[in-house]
Amino acid sequence: MHYYLISAVIIILSMVPFFLMFERKRPQAREIVLIAVLVAITVILRSIFFMIPFFKPMLAMVIISGVGLGYETGMLTGTLSAFISNFIFGQGPWTPWQMFAMGLTGLLAGVIFSKNYTYEKKKYHVCIFGIIAAVLIYGVIMDTASVLMYTGEVSFKAFMAAYISGIPINLIHALSTVIFLALLQKSMIKKLQRVKMKYKI
Architecture of the domain made up of 2-199: Orthogonal Bundle (1.10)
Q: What is the pLDDT of residue 173?
A: 96
| Residues in CB range of 182: below 8 A, 6 or more apart | 123, 127
Q: What is the pLDDT of residue 114?
A: 87
Tens of pLDDT, residue by residue over 140-196, are: 999 998 888 877 677 888 899 999 999 999 999 999 999 999 999 999 999 998 888
The amino acid present at 174, given as its one-letter code, is A
Domain boundary assignment for the chain: 2-199
Stretch 88-108: mean pLDDT: 89
